[in-house]
Amino acid sequence: MNAMTKDSEDRRSQLRRDEADLIARCIAGEASAQEKLYRAHCRPVAANLYRVMGEKNDLDDMVQEVFVIAFRGLPKFRKEARLSTWLYRICVNVALGKIRNKVRRPPPILKADPVADDRRHSPESPETLLAREQSKAKVYAILDQMTPKKRMVLYLYEIEGHDLKEIAYLVGANPVTVRTRLFYARKEFYSLLAGSPDEEGAV
Amino acid sequence: MKHIAPHLLAQFSAQKTNPKATDRIEAHLETCSACKHSLSKIRIGRDTMKEIQAMGAPDLGWDHIATRIYWTTSSERRAKSNVQKRNWRRPVMALAALVIVAGVGVAFMGGNTEEAQGVATQAPLPQKDLVAADAAPAAIQPDESIGETIYGVVTFMQGEVVDGSQPILFDQDIVKGSHFSTGEGSLVVQFGKRSSFRLAKHSELWVRAFDTHRIELSVVGQVDVDIEKRGPEQAFVVDVGQQSVVVQGTAFRVEYREGQLGVSCTRGKVVVTDGQDNVHVPAGQMFSVESSQWDEAALRAIEIPLSRRSALDAEMAMPLLSTWGEAHQRNLDLSAVLEVVAPETQTVAIDGIRVGKGAFWLRTTIGRHQIAKLQKDGSLRDAAWVDAQGGESPSTVKFAQSVGSRSMRKVRKRELQGAIESGQKARRCLAPLAKRGLMVGSYIEFHVGINTDGRQRFLNIVDSNLSPAIQRCLRGAVDSETLSPGAASEFRLKLSF
């Protein structure tokens, strides 16, 4: 058991060393290192952004923006957090910017979105799939009605399952502020989700 | 009847309410169908959120994004490096500033006509150009109560320069009585921490006085002078024919050829005088006159054209020893001579500072210096380290002539381009891009060196907007090409798609 723990610790420290080496090479402007970093993190980054935004429109632009910001900021990366966490933080900020812009801009013309393979071969009936899609659309429609800051803390807490301290790091705010913001965000979100404006009070 | 707040229902659904609240909510839900309905909606919503949490990345054009990221970051890097490249000019300007700063706040000689008159010369006007100028301008009789002797050091020398009839030795002292002639070359002498003069080509200079009280130079041809601020008792005079140029702390150029006198001042102020009339030439102004027409001419300085000013500043920048000290021997001991041999038209920069063209000698501080070819666009190429060591023999750096004539470069370039285009390898590299319709506007530029046997001496990617993987592939494709034996050459090859 101890040997297993030691093994996993060794592996972890090796990973950390590899990551530090990769970062150093990226800072030195080594294109192959940058490509390696991109290939290792592009899918998680895209997934994060996709989950926050709920749509594929401009997703490639956002992924690009995240990595461009990351490569610019790597020399300032202080390694207090893992690289993936730091990238996640950039994703949050890029998404926040996008949400703010979205409020100001008219909705984009949607592009035809072919059904992904996994859904095409799903054992579920088309009706069930449709119901799920509608449910997702409803959640995102409610999120769209919220202010960007509230939306982000709610998303990070309720969907991503982060705790207050993590959210505070990701959004760059005080944990107390995050707690207050989250309280109002949850109140607003579930009110809209439940859709019964007459309920008031509390037990 | 009060309903349960939805966020509390959500907490209840997530089993995060305390036991007391859980009991109350359960009791309420048994009797309230509206809250039950809300709870079911919230449960569906929460299930959906779990699904959202499990959502992976959709399929995106990963390579396309990688290319765009690479393009953006590499353009930024290039822009940055261009800024850095431009920054090499700063040392040049700093060098110029080092020289110029000496005259800032200088007490001008404007009202000091007494001194100006004191240096009025009766020297005969040389009618011949320098080479035959045996009849040097007569020395102004220097004040016999001379100050301490000044020793100058040659810091730059190029081409044909002689002291009297002897070639100048790099470590010889420049003192009163020195006499220099230049053919196609030029010479820079430093004689204080920030004071120097440059004798341009086809010029002649006599050092009439060289001490702490008085420096007097007689010139036929062109001399650029840059002197630090001098005390009121320290005269600096340049005699040119029947006129003299009197200064205190300033940078200026005097050109005197075939009786035509021109004075341009870039810093401080100079007074041109024939002993009776004075012409004040402040910074940014120039004055020219036919020496023999002095009495009839309009004695007035005019503005130096803006377009000429910066060029003049750059031309007048002179290499200085930063380790200059009071002890003359120390200046020689703490410096070393570099001999640079480059093609005649090739400008050479040392430590990023433009120093000279072709072959020249430079006195510089002992230690390691970076030496490189300066391109027309301001970039540096073929940089190398050179260790300047004290001692009698200079450290030599040689730059080879560029390989291959222009026409041969064209031929070799065309050969290689043809080989690449007729082959399939490059096409295969671009297939992923072509498939996505992203090929238009893509390019890659190589720096290629070809040996006489047709094989490549080196192959570097200079610029591209393609992804690193495609760049590597294309480099491999170009690398595999071998040309027929012929002239060695070196060129840049840009492939646009």
Confidence band, pLDDT 50/70/90 cuts, at residue A167: very high
Query: What is the structure's pLDDT at A113?
Result: 43
Query: What is the structure's pLDDT at A201?
Result: 42
Instruction: Round to whole Å and give the CA distance between B180 and B222.
Output: 12
Query: What is the structure's pLDDT at B282?
Result: 87
Nearest to B216 by CA among B317, B286, B118, B284: B118
**Are residues A68 and B73, on separate chains, in Cβ contact within 8 Å?**
yes
CA distance A17 to chain B (A): 24
User: A with B: how many residue pairs have Cβ under 8 Å apart?
Assistant: 147
CA nearest to A37 within chain B: B66
Beta bridge pairs of residue B341 = B398
Q: Using CB atoms, which residue from A116, A161, A190 is nearest to B42?
A: A190
Nearest to B119 by CA among B5, B247, B231, B292: B247
Confidence band, pLDDT 50/70/90 cuts, at residue B267: confident
CA-based R_g, chain B, Å: 37
Query: What is the structure's pLDDT at A181?
Result: 92
Question: What's the mean pLDDT in A84-101?
Answer: 89
Highest-pLDDT range among A78-82, A87-91, A103-107, B61-65: A87-91
Q: How far is CA A178 from CA A50, A82, A105, A109, A175, in A?
A: 23, 22, 27, 34, 5
> Does the pLDDT at position A117 exceed 60?
no
Q: How far is CA B334 from CA A73, B190, B396, in A?
A: 44, 14, 18
> Does the pLDDT at position A118 exceed 60?
no
Query: What is the structure's pLDDT at B400?
Result: 64
Q: Please, what is the Cα angle at B135 between B129 and B137, to 5 degrees?
A: 90
- pLDDT tens per residue across span B64-105: 788 778 777 766 666 655 555 445 444 433 333 323 222 322
Q: Is A89 left (phi over 0), alpha (psi -120 to 50) or beta?
A: alpha
Interface with chain A: mutation pick from B73, B438, B444, B474, highest number of A CBs within 10 Å: B73
Instruction: Round to whole Å and give the CA distance between B351 and B319.
Output: 12
> Does the pLDDT at position B109 exceed 70?
no
Query: What is the structure's pLDDT at A196?
Result: 53
CA distance B24 to chain A (A): 7
- pLDDT tens per residue across span B379-396: 777 777 778 877 767 788
Task: Please give the structure tokens belonging to residue B420.
Answer: 């690449």
Query: What is the structure's pLDDT at A151?
Result: 92
Query: What is the structure's pLDDT at A202?
Result: 41
User: What's chain A's average pLDDT?
Assistant: 79
Largest CA distance in chain A: 60
Q: How far is CA B486 from CA A118, B413, B419, B480, B492, in A?
A: 59, 12, 15, 18, 18
Instruction: Round to whole Å and give the CA distance between B312 and B226.
Output: 13
Confidence band, pLDDT 50/70/90 cuts, at residue A122: low
Give the DSSP per-residue string, B122-151: ------S-GGGTTSPPPPP---SS--PBP-
**Are residues B42 and A193, on separate chains, in Cβ contact within 8 Å?**
yes
Query: What is the structure's pLDDT at B116?
Result: 30
Own/partner contacts of A9-12, CB < 8 Å, gap of 24 or more, are none
Q: How far is CA B427 from CA A22, A133, B263, in A?
A: 31, 43, 64
> Does the pLDDT at position B375 exceed 90?
no
Q: Which DSSP helix (H) or strand (E) runs through B54?
A: helix B33-54
> Does the pLDDT at position A126 exceed 90?
no
Q: Which residues of A touch B57 (CB under 8 A)?
A: 42-47, 50
**Are residues A199 and B34, on separate chains, in Cβ contact within 8 Å?**
yes
Confidence band, pLDDT 50/70/90 cuts, at residue A180: very high
Confidence band, pLDDT 50/70/90 cuts, at residue A183: very high
Least confident of A170-179, B212-221, B362-371: B362-371
Query: What is the structure's pLDDT at B280?
Result: 87
Interface with chain A: mutation pick from B1, B7, B18, B76, highest number of A CBs within 10 Å: B7
* A103 at B interface, C-beta within 8 A: no
Q: Using CB atoms, which residue from A63, A116, A200 is nearest to B3?
A: A200
Query: What is the structure's pLDDT at B256?
Result: 87
Q: Which residues of A touch B9 (CB under 8 A)?
A: 190, 194
Q: Using CB atoms, which residue from A32, A60, A193 is nearest to B41?
A: A193
> Does the pLDDT at position B5 exceed 80?
yes
Q: Which residues contact A62 (CB under 8 A, 6 or more apart)?
A: A49, A53, A94, A95, A98
Query: What is the structure's pLDDT at B82?
Result: 54
User: Does the reported pTM lie above 0.90?
Assistant: no
- pLDDT tens per residue across span B321-346: 777 776 777 777 778 888 888 877 78
Confidence band, pLDDT 50/70/90 cuts, at residue A59: confident
Nearest to B69 by CA among A35, A29, A49: A35
* A157 at B interface, C-beta within 8 A: no
Q: Which residues contact A157 (CB under 8 A, 6 or more apart)?
A: A164, A167, A182, A185, A186
User: What's chain B's average pLDDT?
Assistant: 76
Residue B303 corresponds to which amino acid? E
Query: What is the structure's pLDDT at A2?
Result: 61
Query: What is the structure's pLDDT at B131?
Result: 30
- pLDDT tens per residue across span B436-467: 777 778 888 888 888 777 888 788 888 888 88
Task: Please give the structure tokens belonging to residue B308.
Answer: 């000429």
Query: What is the structure's pLDDT at A155?
Result: 92
**Are residues A190 and B10, on separate chains, in Cβ contact within 8 Å?**
yes
CA-based R_g, chain A, Å: 20
A:3-32 residues touching chain B, CB 8 A cutoff: 29, 31-32
> Kind of pairing, strands B204-210 and B214-227?
antiparallel
Phi, psi of B326 (to 5 degrees): -65, -40
